[in-house]
Structure formats: C-alpha cells, structure tokens
Amino acid sequence: MRILIVEDEVHLAEALSQLLKKNHYSVDVVNDGHAGLDYALSGIYDLLLLDIMLPGMDGMTLLKAIRAEGFAAPVIMLTAKGEVTDKISGLDHGADDYIAKPFNTDELLARMRAALRRKGEVVPEDGLRFGNIELNTSTLRLSCQGKELKLILKESELLELLITRRSAVTSKEQMIEKLWGFDSEAEHNNVEVYVSFLRKKLAFLDASVRINTIRGVGYVLEATE
C-alpha cells in the first residue's frame, strides 16, 4: 500500500510518515498543493491524506481537481479542530472521511483501513490469497498449506502488487513506481533481485504459485496445480 501525505506542517507530516512506515505502508510526503496534485495524479497511490490549508493550492481545490481527473483512491482530509464547514465541503467534493488535528494515531490507522476497505482494496489485516498461498501484508507472513515464513517489506509489497493485479502483466516500471515511488532512482535490477528472492521463498514453501517472466513486458503470477 502506498500512501501520499499532503501536509505543509513539516513536523506533523514527518511524524505521520514515520507512523505509517512503522505500520508497513510505503509513504511519500509533499508540503504544498501543486506538488500534491502532481504526485496524486501519478496513479501510484492507494490512499491520500490531505491537509486543507496548504500553500500553492488548497486541499479542497486539489481534491476537486483530482476527482475530476478520475483519481479513485480514498482521500482522508486532515482538518483543524472545529472546521465543521470544511468537513462538510470535503465530503461533498469527494473526500471519503476526515480526521481533526490533533488526532489519535490508532484512530487515524483505523479510519485508513476503513476507507481502503470501502473502496474494495485489500486491508492489511486480511490475508491476500492466490493459488495455495496466503500473504498477510500486516505481519509480512507468507503461508502455504501449514508452512510459513516472513518476508521483508519490499518482497511483501511486490507480491501484494502481483496478487492484486491477478492475471494482468506488471511491468518493471510499474513495480518501481509502486515500491520506490515514481521519482526514485531504483533500477530494473532492484526489481529482479526481489523477484528472485520471492521465487526462492515460494519454492521453499512448495507453493503452487510461480512468478512468470514475460520477456520485454514484465511479470505475472500463475497458479499451477
């Protein structure tokens, strides 16, 4: 799961980023509205945490703009205490939820899971299934018919991406954007390394799931029985 935080209070944004990373989310932070718009429209985010009062472009304008462009992922507005009209306006313009600052971190995480669940995304508490494997993206545990091992975060994110795309081929570029962010320096061989780790772990578990290479295109999961 990749989350975008658009928040101009740098300390708050950083604290939020640390909290989400500790909970196994990938996170990007931007501190102004125009950058927020560019990042959000990259299409790599599963959820957006959006402040309202922002330099450049305010959160409400940003929200309207991304919804008009077809941004479908959930948006949770971060509001200052008591901004009731902002809350109503945000919900009217396509926000999924709001949370008042200063907020309780457990409540924020719960609201994020609820927003992701409503959008039909797979919430981290649930296991993702494909063939005879089950991946828990919250504990990073990959299990197969009674055997189990722990993945590292990037392996879990990569497998999660492949599972959620089902039979669609995923390119290395898509993997890099999802795992490292679209402005990262990660290269194709970073992806190849994690794919090879995952293949070894799937073999170790005797999984009936293979990561197939589609030459020149990318990777796709296959369940073989």
Question: Is residue 58 part of the contact set for Ca ion (CB under 5 A)?
Answer: no
- Closest contact distance (angstroms) between CB of 8 and Ca ion is 5
Residue type, 138: S
Question: Is residue 83 part of the contact set for Ca ion (CB under 5 A)?
Answer: no
Task: Pick the closer one to Ca ion by CB: 101 or 117.
Answer: 101
Tokens of 84: 């009731």
Question: Is residue 97 part of the contact set for Ca ion (CB under 5 A)?
Answer: no
Interface with Ca ion by CB under 5 A: which range of 17-25, 46-54, 101-109, 176-184?
A: 46-54
Q: Residue 64 in 3-state DSSP?
A: helix
Alpha-carbon gap, residue 218 to 175, rounded angstroms: 9
Q: Residue 120 in 3-state DSSP?
A: coil
Question: Is residue 57 part of the contact set for Ca ion (CB under 5 A)?
Answer: no
Q: Please, which residues have CB within 8 angstroms of residue 72's CB and are 6 or more apart in sequence?
A: 119
Residue 99's nearest CA partner among 113, 112, 85, 118 is: 112
Instruction: Pick one of 8, 32, 83, 126: the residue that binds Ca ion (CB under 5 A).
Output: 8
Instruction: Pick one of 12, 19, 41, 53: the residue that binds Ca ion (CB under 5 A).
Output: 53
Count of alpha carbons within 13 angstroms of residue 30, beta-carbon side: 22
Are residues 60 and 86 in contact, defined by beta-carbon separation less than 8 angstroms? yes
Instruction: Pick one of 46, 51, 96, 160: the residue that binds Ca ion (CB under 5 A).
Output: 51
- Closest contact distance (angstroms) between CB of 28 and Ca ion is 17
Number of chain residues interacting with Ca ion (CB under 5 A): 3
Question: Is residue 86 part of the contact set for Ca ion (CB under 5 A)?
Answer: no
DSSP tag of 100: E
Task: Pick the closer one to Ca ion by CB: 13 or 162.
Answer: 13
Site for Ca ion in 15-44 (CB under 5 A): none
Interaction site with Ca ion (CB under 5 A): 8, 51, 53
